[in-house]
Chains A and B, each alone.
Chain A
């Protein structure tokens, strides 16, 4: 990949980030509802409200507020939460302790289960196993994630008492309790994704197996199994990984829902609460961070896939 191409991609993303920041800012600041009213509650007097408005800087003009925010963001200063009155940076940092492992775990589970299942179905294409597996996956693809989460809680924690139903003890409580708390949410998050991955993996692998170079490899002496795992799979994985990159925001969305169901103190729950309470600094900066990291990950994924598939290098589109 040439330096010019990388530069162009980065520049494009930068422009997009600026647009994203404008959208986020406009949305948060044009919404009805007054953050000061939330902070002061039912008995707030108009004077108290005005005083708080002054303190929060809500009196200055919109462009001034935007510039103030974005310049601070670039410096890495995420501001102060209205509601908690602590630095947004530490708030997000704290929440990432459960959100990041959750997303990673869900990603691992969905790829770790989806890819082998897809490979098995493709290897046994047309058999009863394949049909059954695909039907099963279709079913799991169709279950609302929050309902699945509810049902799993009901079964595994409320009835069987295997895993905790909610909350997160934190990593300082030890790796095992923390992982146990993340297990059900990660599974709930991963299952629909795994189903999508498996179905995609299957069709990608079947497509790859029908290519001429598979026959070449067989003529070279590769066994059926060897050609599946060593030749076809790496090639078939490329579109699957691309899909995983595209699905990332969906996973983030799922995190918001799943964290609500399992009352996990994560970024998703923080975001939803912050939107509801008009904690503007938290929402603005958190969304900006999410959008930016999704974009960065997408760029990395693009570069990674291009590295995996040398053909794309020749074709910039």
Chain B
């Protein structure tokens, strides 16, 4: 099977300092690759460079190939055609990642509007189907609701729906379950894995929750200070870590330290 995503020697430089150093990996359709490592190790920058959304002033070198398309030399216009259609992304801050002044149905529908020629009526239908799939309808959430009327988990579902709308080949999920309770987390992951199995969607999952990684990921990539210290199939990395950093990470995880308690964000997740 030819890889869907092929990243070779990717380096990213911020105006102040280097952030990523010579990262290389591949990802095949239907597979889940987990990127893990401590905060500031460059995980999010990696995700953003895959989406072509690095902040202004950041410079990337190396090659990113999505099937035959070389992304690093893509024009802005082509990037826009790719994002949302072939590449989907879910962010980690459910509280702020949605536009507060637009209805969630509109925001989900936007993905269709940007990449398909569906009629408004068809978009409405598709949006409703999607909302059902991610379990929003089940929770009684209407497409006319505004983000502030939703709980954190519900918002994350909206974001997921937006990312999955056009059946992307690659989903980039940046800590997208971190703020959620264990049950919701499981439901969301089930949604994602179903897509992997039925549509061959590949997932690049950024998480420092090693329990989650071990349970869902096919491959693991461990990062430290912008470099990839270890990568391989999940069982082999977890059972026989080579790098001392990985070993340390795993050791901490076993003591339960890596499983962060609920972040302060959870204060806001009470339904309004």
A and B touch in the complex (CB under 8 A): yes
- Residues of B near A231 (CB, < 8 A) are 99
- Residues of B near A235 (CB, < 8 A) are 99-101
Partner of A220, one of B76, B110, B148, B149: B110
- A234 interface residue, CB < 8 Å from B? yes
A234 and B101 contacting across the interface, CB-CB below 8 Å = yes
- Residues of A near B89 (CB, < 8 A) are 219
- Residues of A near B88 (CB, < 8 A) are 219
- Residues of A near B114 (CB, < 8 A) are 220-222
* Given contacts A211-B96, A212-B91, A216-B98, A221 and B84 within 8 Å (CB-CB): yes
A310 and B91 contacting across the interface, CB-CB below 8 Å = no
B93 and A212 contacting across the interface, CB-CB below 8 Å = yes
Complex interface bits, A198-235 against B, C-beta within 8 A gives 1, otherwise 0: 00000000000001110111111111101000010011
- Residues of B near A238 (CB, < 8 A) are 101
Residues of chain A at interface, number, CB under 8 A = 23
Residues of chain B at interface, number, CB under 8 A = 32
Whole-angstrom distance between the alpha carbons of A216 and B88 in the complex?
10
B101 and A310 contacting across the interface, CB-CB below 8 Å = yes
Closest to A223 in B: B80
- Residues of A near B162 (CB, < 8 A) are 216, 220
- A8 interface residue, CB < 8 Å from B? no
Whole-angstrom distance between the alpha carbons of A217 and B83 in the complex?
10
Partner of B81, one of A212, A218, A221: A221
- A67 interface residue, CB < 8 Å from B? no
Partner of A219, one of B51, B81, B93, B101: B51
Secondary structure dominating the interface of A? helix
- B254 interface residue, CB < 8 Å from A? no
- Residues of A near B76 (CB, < 8 A) are 223-224
B159 and A216 contacting across the interface, CB-CB below 8 Å = yes
- A15 interface residue, CB < 8 Å from B? no
Complex interface bits, A276-317 against B, C-beta within 8 A gives 1, otherwise 0: 000000000000000000000000000000001111001000
A314 and B272 contacting across the interface, CB-CB below 8 Å = yes
Closest to A211 in B: B96
Whole-angstrom distance between the alpha carbons of A308 and B77 in the complex?
31
- Residues of A near B110 (CB, < 8 A) are 217, 220, 222
Complex interface bits, B181-219 against A, C-beta within 8 A gives 1, otherwise 0: 000000000000000000000000000000000000000
Whole-angstrom distance between the alpha carbons of A308 and B100 in the complex?
10
B148 and A310 contacting across the interface, CB-CB below 8 Å = yes
Whole-angstrom distance between the alpha carbons of A308 and B101 in the complex?
7
B81 and A309 contacting across the interface, CB-CB below 8 Å = no
Partner of B85, one of A221, A223, A311, A314: A221
- B224 interface residue, CB < 8 Å from A? no
Whole-angstrom distance between the alpha carbons of A226 and B96 in the complex?
20
B99 and A217 contacting across the interface, CB-CB below 8 Å = yes
* Given contacts A308-B101, A309-B101, A310-B100, A218 and B83 within 8 Å (CB-CB): yes
Partner of B96, one of A213, A220, A224: A213
Q: How far is the CB of B222 from chain A (nearest CB, A)?
A: 25
Whole-angstrom distance between the alpha carbons of A162 and B62 in the complex?
61
B111 and A216 contacting across the interface, CB-CB below 8 Å = no
B91 and A220 contacting across the interface, CB-CB below 8 Å = no
Identify the A interface with B (CB < 8 A). 211-213, 215-224, 226, 231, 234-235, 238, 308-311, 314
List, sorted by A's number, 14 A–B pairs whose CB atoms are closer than 8 Å.
A211-B96, A212-B91, A213-B97, A213-B98, A216-B162, A218-B53, A219-B91, A221-B111, A222-B80, A222-B114, A231-B99, A235-B101, A310-B146, A314-B148
8 further A-B contacts with Cβ under 8 Å, apart from A216-B97, A218-B53, A314-B272, are: A212-B93, A213-B100, A219-B91, A220-B83, A220-B114, A226-B80, A310-B100, A311-B146
